[in-house]
A and B are shown apart, each in its own frame.
Chain A
């Protein structure tokens, strides 16, 4: 008797768990966040920033520069965020050391927005190294491995981003073709991976 009773309790409990979890699925579907790859984003202009929106994975026209339609802007090696002195939005950011895939949670603090004295995202020594005259390849802008840009968008959503290349076609930078300035692909073309979290949380694994 006792055994049957126990089994019944267990079955009841099991059914309850099943039902409640089914309810969860119906109301808040959890989807895994996948990285988006953006290839050869043109930042060639020396006067205008190329403005970009993470949610739509799309370039925003410069006529919308005084709006919150864009999150991040690129011009050469300079990166601006739509906030602070750069725009009307709430965007801010920081550079975190680590591996892109391993960064599962955005840090709670330490975000900076662009100011008169400095951009939130430091260029040389921040996300890239300029190799100068002595190194091979020379005069190259090479993104530093293990630097993840953690950003808040213009409307305060979290994004993590890793810059892969500054050259058109994301070339292998260890080859002699790249080392030779005559055969090196054009610069000011960004290739990067990012994960945009639309639900406003700091989680970079899943979204509701």
Chain B
């Protein structure tokens, strides 16, 4: 109850603060408009929002304004103005999202780790996660039409992994006849070359994109061997062909290939340096043919086939004699045929039905065999407008998994337009994440330290084998009590408002709460003769995340767009709260050595979550004279890094990383509609923290030039 009150109190305060801010802004805007001597064509933002098309929410194109679920759209124009090259740069500046580093840079959404956010390209999932993180640096953004961010569980449409939310990258479609070549160079010898080709005439459209990105990396600790980020080079190729056989029968084929090579030097010596030369490769490809047929105005069917493969190899050799220290490989495949049918009963009732099958496999150094599993699924969605002011979206999906059982994920969303400037909306949904391959099938023994990790499916046999080999000193927990591993599930509640107090001002506020259960954790099963442990996975933790997200935008005279975003986040482990209430958590003062009981109020929640995050951005565009510019400030509040007083939880001030702000600026100018020059600086004030935030490079300066040549073609939306 208390939390709810606080949430409402903050909500009301934010709203009041916003209104007073808006008044000031409105006056300022009025003055500016009066002073402006030039008259501009005034296109209403309402119309603009209506025109914004989203596919993530329903898996079909829908107008954003009519959707009862909050979806954030980042358009190409904004991405280009930022000068962003990779997806992590784009997402890191969005409200409520933060980039977290764990075996790569991944996305944290509503307080969830990266493994709980599904990343899609044109509606199809990207695969290849390391320890749950999908490296966002793998995704080039130059050919992106828009990025759609939908928070809250969407397993009702997308199945596993869509527990925190979905990020859908919508790539460009063939449009006109033109070609663009861009080249960019910046700090750390970071260079990027990309080229796009567009062709659209009559029934045939084709699009091709190629990108080469390379960097020398950087080193925040020059006194030690090796770099913080080692040099790497990657290439991205993407293409799409569309062909309209008739008005009813349409075909598209898209493909993507990504390859990366990285070289590294590591020091594994404890007293004397022992250097290893490492090289790692990542290859990732996918292909996606889609056929759609419109039977009538009311009935449309789409067939999609998606295949993807992700492989990595790595080898580390001693610098001295070239002997192999470690060699690994990892191969993952994903194949999915799917049929989706939309039935438009009338303008107020749309029914969507879909079904499909997923084949997944993984083969790797850490697995005994080639591991496979299948998922059969069916989903249904009903878009219903019972009254002109009320939009409802009901959906559900049933997944039947070959390895861990089945899952039903419903979702209900509603939006009510109170009047022309205020809408309220809310949703309830269930999300899940299936146990992944490592949680089911891992069979890994660390060569240097000697511990063993077994997936839940390997546990009984693995323990028996180790016992037969005489490696087990003591079995701590009967492996049969671990039981069959279940999917991690979340029940989520979202409620919010959309407000347009003035023609050019928008405010959205969303309050969220996620109750997660059966989170998968590891615990020791047995002690080995070498005094190391055998670990396995089991369902245990219950956590919650809750908070408020608010975003305000205001546009001045069509040229200047201000935006402000804020997220309050509280994410805690329910079991820790119970232990704290029972007085069973202790801490030792490092100075006095006195052990004391930790109070519930000292508990800072889950590690790596900032309670406060804020961003302020200004985008400027002068279309007539070809100027673009932007200035963005991104604040990440303090967050827990690791336990230092040895009670596993976050409770002491020394366990936090200080909050910080990163400032990014850019400016660009287009000449003769053909040449574009742009320059910018990321992390203007060179904020670094080599101990706690090695993923944050220092100041990055960059400059780019682009040439676009156009011919005569058809524009197709």
Residue of B nearest to A172 (CB): B590
Given contacts A136-B691, A145-B588, A172-B591, contact A118 B473 (CB under 8 A): yes
Given contacts A97-B584, A174-B654, contact A142 B646 (CB under 8 A): yes
Q: Does any Cβ of B come within 8 Å of A71's Cβ?
A: no
B642: which A residues are within 8 A, CB to CB?
A: 134-136
A162 to B595, Cβ gap below 8 A?
A: yes
CA of A134 to CA of B449 in the docked complex: distance in angstroms?
A: 14
CA of A134 to CA of B131 in the docked complex: distance in angstroms?
A: 13
A100: which B residues are within 8 A, CB to CB?
A: 595
Interface SS, B side = loop
Residue of A nearest to B642 (CB): A135
B596: which A residues are within 8 A, CB to CB?
A: 99
Question: In the assembled complex, how far is the CB of residue B610 from the closest CB belonging to chain A, in whole angstroms?
Answer: 18
B590: which A residues are within 8 A, CB to CB?
A: 172-174
A145 to B691, Cβ gap below 8 A?
A: no
Contact flags (1/0) for B563-603 with A, using CB distance below 8 Å?
00000000000000000000011111011010111000000
Q: Does any Cβ of A come within 8 Å of B647's Cβ?
A: yes
B648: which A residues are within 8 A, CB to CB?
A: 129
CA of A124 to CA of B595 in the docked complex: distance in angstroms?
A: 19
B643 to A145, Cβ gap below 8 A?
A: no
Interface SS, A side = loop
Contact flags (1/0) for A125-144 with B, using CB distance below 8 Å?
10001000011110000111
Q: Which of B585, B593, B654 contacts A164 (CB 8 A)?
A: B593
CA of A129 to CA of B590 in the docked complex: distance in angstroms?
A: 16
A170: which B residues are within 8 A, CB to CB?
A: 593
Q: Does any Cβ of B come within 8 Å of A107's Cβ?
A: no
Q: Does any Cβ of B come within 8 Å of A200's Cβ?
A: no
Question: In the assembled complex, how far is the CB of residue B590 from the closest CB belonging to chain A, in whole angstroms?
Answer: 4
- How many chain-B residues does the 8 Å CB contact rule pick out? 29
Contact flags (1/0) for A96-116 with B, using CB distance below 8 Å?
011110000000000000000
Q: Which of A98, A144, A172 contacts B647 (CB 8 A)?
A: A144
Q: Does any Cβ of A come within 8 Å of B474's Cβ?
A: yes
A145 to B524, Cβ gap below 8 A?
A: no
Q: Does any Cβ of B come within 8 Å of A8's Cβ?
A: no
Residue of A nearest to B270 (CB): A181
Residue of A nearest to B596 (CB): A99
B595 to A146, Cβ gap below 8 A?
A: yes
Residue of B nearest to A97 (CB): B584
Pull 20 A–B residue pairs with CB atoms less than 8 Å apart, ordered by A: A97-B584, A99-B595, A99-B596, A100-B595, A118-B473, A124-B533, A135-B642, A136-B644, A142-B646, A143-B646, A145-B646, A146-B586, A146-B587, A146-B647, A170-B593, A173-B590, A173-B644, A174-B644, A176-B691, A179-B691
Q: Which of A151-186 contact B (CB under 8 A)?
A: 162, 164-165, 170, 172-174, 176, 179
Q: Does any Cβ of B come within 8 Å of A117's Cβ?
A: yes
B474: which A residues are within 8 A, CB to CB?
A: 117-118
Q: Does any Cβ of A come within 8 Å of B645's Cβ?
A: yes
B652: which A residues are within 8 A, CB to CB?
A: 174
Residue of B nearest to A117 (CB): B474
CA of A172 to CA of B588 in the docked complex: distance in angstroms?
A: 11
Q: Does any Cβ of A come within 8 Å of B627's Cβ?
A: no
CA of A179 to CA of B644 in the docked complex: distance in angstroms?
A: 10
Question: In the assembled complex, how far is the CB of residue A174 from the closest CB belonging to chain B, in whole angstroms?
Answer: 4
Question: In the assembled complex, how far is the CB of residue A131 from the closest CB belonging to chain B, in whole angstroms?
Answer: 8
B473 to A125, Cβ gap below 8 A?
A: no
Question: In the assembled complex, how far is the CB of residue B372 from the closest CB belonging to chain A, in whole angstroms?
Answer: 31
Residue of B nearest to A134 (CB): B642
Q: Does any Cβ of A come within 8 Å of B641's Cβ?
A: yes
B641: which A residues are within 8 A, CB to CB?
A: 136
CA of A30 to CA of B644 in the docked complex: distance in angstroms?
A: 41
Question: In the assembled complex, how far is the CB of residue B641 from the closest CB belonging to chain A, in whole angstroms?
Answer: 7
Question: In the assembled complex, how far is the CB of residue B694 from the closest CB belonging to chain A, in whole angstroms?
Answer: 11
Question: In the assembled complex, how far is the CB of residue B578 from the closest CB belonging to chain A, in whole angstroms?
Answer: 14
Q: Which of B637-659 contact A (CB under 8 A)?
A: 641-648, 652, 654
A174: which B residues are within 8 A, CB to CB?
A: 590, 644-645, 652, 654
B527: which A residues are within 8 A, CB to CB?
A: 118
Residue of A nearest to B585 (CB): A146
Listed from nearest, the 8 A-B pairs whose CB atoms lie closest are A146-B586, A145-B588, A145-B586, A172-B590, A174-B654, A142-B646, A174-B644, A135-B642
CA of A162 to CA of B641 in the docked complex: distance in angstroms?
A: 27
